[in-house]
Amino acid sequence: HLHPTHPLALAPVAAPPSTVDGFVREFLLNLNSGRGVTLSNASATDKYFALAHTVRDYLMARWLEDLRRQREVQDKGVAYLSAEYLLGRQLDNNLLASGLSEIAEEALAACGIDLDVLRQQEVEPGLGNGGLGRLAACFIDSLATMGVPNVGYGIRYEYGIFRQTFVDGQQAEQPDAWLSLGSPWEFAHPEGAQTIAFGGHTETYDDEGVPRSRWIPAWNVQAVPYNYMVPGYQNGRVNTLRLWSAVATNSFDLRVFNSGDYEEAVRAQTYAENISKVLYPEDSTPQGKELRLQQQYFFVAASIRDVFDVMLPADFELTNLPERIIFQLNDTHPVIAVPEFMRVLVDEKKMDWDAAWAVTQQCFAYTCHTLLPEALEVWPVELLGRLLPRHLEIIYRINEDFLVAVREKFGDDEMRIRDMSIIGEHPVRSVRMAYLATVAGAKVNGVAELHSQLLRDKVLPDFNEFYPGKFINVTNGVTPRRFVRLSNPSLSGLITDALGTGWVTDLERLRELEAYAEDPEFRTQFAEVKAANKRLLSDVLRERDGFEVSDGHMLDVMVKRLHEYKRQMLKVLHIVTTYEGIISGRVAVGDVQPRTFIFGAKAAPGYVMAKRIIHLINAVGSVVNNDPRVEGKLKVLFPPNYNVTLAERVIPAADLSEQISLAGKEASGTGNMKFALNGALTIGTDDGANVEIRELVGDDNFFLFGMSEPEVESLWAKGYKPSSFYNADSGLRRSLDLIAAGAFSGGDRSMFEPIVSNLLYDDRFMVLADYSAYIGAQAKVDAAYADQDAWTRSAILNVARCGYFSSDRSMRDYIERIWHTAPSF
């Protein structure tokens, strides 16, 4: 027998040789022994799985080696707690990271297989809603690429974000059964399951003279870990993403089973397994449902246990925890981790309360991702106490101590005490999770300069005064691996020809392209890249949706979740205005720049107004696209089911990036960064990270319009009357009247009436107030686009000046300002 300390037992088996022949062998082996088929009778699924397993085999030795070394060196690690990871397809990313793309392509060709066909087989894991979930995926990519020890913790939803289809122009939702064929990227470890308890009551007891509390839960579920490789970009490093899946426990079944009720027992099992069944499709609007809190507690409790059991030696000195671990809370979703951590330290590890709290305040940091007050989660005390009674006690105690400190600092200002209390009283007694996170966190960060400033000054000003220095900014970023190198190979080739390969991990090097913007030859090549990307998109949309993208059109793109604050309606009004101008003869057809408007957007299934707007976009599209008077001039395309995979095709092809939220509402945006990095020009408000993009690319290369955040505030204060804007602007009047008259609903005046009257009489997001500025800015876009060469120059400067928006830079900022971790070995 090999002794466990024998070198052969310690070291992972070496990866297969990185040659075409080696790859072919490994691939065929995976087909034969992994799928039980030969090449001649393998299905596309078989081949995709065998290929994925082959890539895994190459990464495996590094992964095992990294895990071993991390255990050995005991460096400080980051536990990123996120309810969402919007990963996108894994195959290409993992091929790129392992440096195997070319070898794989050749090896498959030798087997008569087109790699591209196998790429299409992968169902993307859509375990997130939008920007917040995609950001988490970018961050773990950057940490692996920078060699920083990190585990991403989350939930392995059986169903990710719903699949969107349109039925008569209206959104319909289908379940996203992404696991129906299995996932070749995951490693299940049922033997490593954690038991996660819920419900019951608490009691106090005498622990050898020390009064203590303990929790006597009523039921529990098993949390089964699934591990995913997170390979760094060609650096031999592989981190781990660990997602938890809920399984019913035996004890759970037995309790009911013993009473002889088989059906009830099965029902109970379903109940337990519901916890990781489905991603909540709400984006920026929490639902407050009990199952959601179950999900949150489920994954953070399992993750904390995992850190204690797997990362730390059994005899670890707990006061040293801050030297080993930092939990980053991705929004309020994982904030229940704070009382859970306290419960483990105080009730289980028998630590003194004050010592435990001191440790906790150094082991957590909180990222806020919103400015919408309604998006800050609150949990009714009744619900939280029923599901997690001990945690509620702990939250009360944290709050008591906190309010004592507030009184010490601010005096008995009862109003302020009420405002700052972690427990809110209206409309029902509730726990304010953002406040809990702020009190517990070593640092609280916003996600763009403007957002962080508004967070300090408007959302949590009392906390900022109470905790000077706690509030900081870390501007978001996106991974250049997926969003430039992989999604835009032509542009990447052009950049690499000019600068060499280093830019992929050092994106500020794109600056060197500034000089190339002045080179006519380079501009021609850059324009050719854009044209080629448009043809690629055109092929994808033809195949996927039967759409035709006309040559020579400006591609004007607005892709993001459907939300009123993002103002897709402003875009619709621009389209209707342009259309109305042409058909009424007021605008000469020849004066209009041919444009294709592309939308991509999912609406939360319960968000009625958002769904109406989707319906309207489709309705406008079907009228515009079928009207011979605008043929060849205007086109509206709304491919359904916008996701990461489609984003990777749309963004590189775009000319114009629409970032038109009402100032002060979009925390950051990250699509804005992806577009600019791919050479689209932005038309945008001074909101979120748009502000920083504009500062970097310069006013000449950005179409700014609309009210600033202070102007928005002052218009609200004055009393906003949307109808006065309607009355004052004839173009706006004609456009809204056209919609109201049923021009896009076959004469039916009721269909879109709720949209029109909402804009006229409420208009929370001030679409009408910004309409005329937007139309003016779009005229400037038209004029600028007429000079193609100047436009291309601006596009190059956008690419050159946006290296700052790499998520590698974001991660460096987190490391320096919050985590104080370092790349290890």
Region of 632 please: left (phi>0), alpha (psi -120 to 50) or beta: left
Does 45 qualify as catalytic in the annotation?
A: no
Does 670 qualify as catalytic in the annotation?
A: yes
Which CB, 84 or 340, lies closer to ligand GL7? Answer: 84
Which CB, 93 or 129, lies closer to ligand GL7? Answer: 129
* Cβ 327 to ligand GL7 shortest distance, Å: 18
H-helix segments, 89-215: 91-97, 101-110, 115-119, 131-146
- Cα angle: 745, vertex 750, 752; to 5 degrees: 60
Among candidate residues 333, 635, 674, 809, the one labeled active-site is 674
Residue 395: count of CB within 10 angstroms of its CB: 25
| Three-class secondary structure of residue 637 per DSSP | strand
Instruction: Using CB under 6 A, list all residues that contact ligand GL7.
Output: 129-132, 135, 283-284, 369-370, 375, 447, 476, 666-670, 688
Omega before residue 339 within 30° of 0, cis: no
Which CB, 94 or 810, lies closer to ligand GL7? Answer: 810
* Cβ 560 to ligand GL7 shortest distance, Å: 8
> Can you tell me the distance from the alpha carbon of 533 to that of 358, in angstroms, rounded to the nearest whole number?
54
Does 566 qualify as catalytic in the annotation?
A: yes
* Cβ 480 to ligand GL7 shortest distance, Å: 17
Which CB, 176 or 666, lies closer to ligand GL7? Answer: 666
For 245-257, give the secondary structure using H, E and C.
Answer: EEEECHHHHHHHH
CA distances from 549 to 178, 416, 503, 545, 600 (A): 29, 57, 32, 11, 15
Which CB, 505 or 690, lies closer to ligand GL7? Answer: 690
Q: Is 783 exposed, middle or buried (0-12, 13-18, 19+ CB in 10 A)?
A: exposed
* Cβ 119 to ligand GL7 shortest distance, Å: 27
Rg of the Cα atoms in the chain: 28
Residue 345 CB partners (closer than 8 Å, separation 6+): 318, 351, 356, 359, 360
- Cα angle: 536, vertex 540, 541; to 5 degrees: 115
Pairing outcome for strands 634-637 and 595-600: parallel
* Cβ 687 to ligand GL7 shortest distance, Å: 9
Pairing outcome for strands 656-659 and 681-684: parallel
Which CB, 283 or 648, lies closer to ligand GL7? Answer: 283
Residue 445 CB partners (closer than 8 Å, separation 6+): 365, 366, 367, 368, 452, 471, 472, 473, 474, 814, 817, 818
* Cβ 363 to ligand GL7 shortest distance, Å: 22
Does 470 qualify as catalytic in the annotation?
A: no
Which CB, 231 or 688, lies closer to ligand GL7? Answer: 688
Looking at residue 762, its amino acid is D
Question: Looking at beta carbons, which residue is closest to ligand GL7?
Answer: 131
C-alpha dihedral sign at 295, 296, 298, 299:
positive
Which CB, 81 or 135, lies closer to ligand GL7? Answer: 135
Does 561 qualify as catalytic in the annotation?
A: yes
* Cβ 561 to ligand GL7 shortest distance, Å: 7
Taking alpha carbons only, the member of 790, 771, 575 closest to residue 681 is 790
- What is 386-428 written as a DSSP string? HH-HHHHHHHHHHHHHHHHHHHHHH-S-HHHHHHH-SEE-SSS
Among candidate residues 89, 134, 369, 451, the one labeled active-site is 369
Which CB, 132 or 755, lies closer to ligand GL7? Answer: 132
* Cβ 375 to ligand GL7 shortest distance, Å: 6
* Cβ 566 to ligand GL7 shortest distance, Å: 9
* Cβ 382 to ligand GL7 shortest distance, Å: 25
Which CB, 434 or 549, lies closer to ligand GL7? Answer: 434
**481, two tokens:** 């691996």
> Can you tell me the distance from the alpha carbon of 501 to that of 511, in angstroms, rounded to the nearest whole number?
14
Among candidate residues 156, 333, 432, 561, the one labeled active-site is 561
Among candidate residues 391, 481, 560, 694, the one labeled active-site is 560
Paired strand residues for 430: 380, 424
Looking at residue 61, its amino acid is A
Looking at residue 654, its amino acid is A
H-helix segments, 274-320: 290-306
Does 674 qualify as catalytic in the annotation?
A: yes
> Can you tell me the distance from the alpha carbon of 536 to that of 540, in angstroms, rounded to the nearest whole number?
6
* Cβ 667 to ligand GL7 shortest distance, Å: 4
Q: What are phi and psi of 145, to 5 degrees?
A: -65, -30
Which CB, 331 or 770, lies closer to ligand GL7? Answer: 331
What are the catalytic residues? 369, 560-561, 566, 670, 674
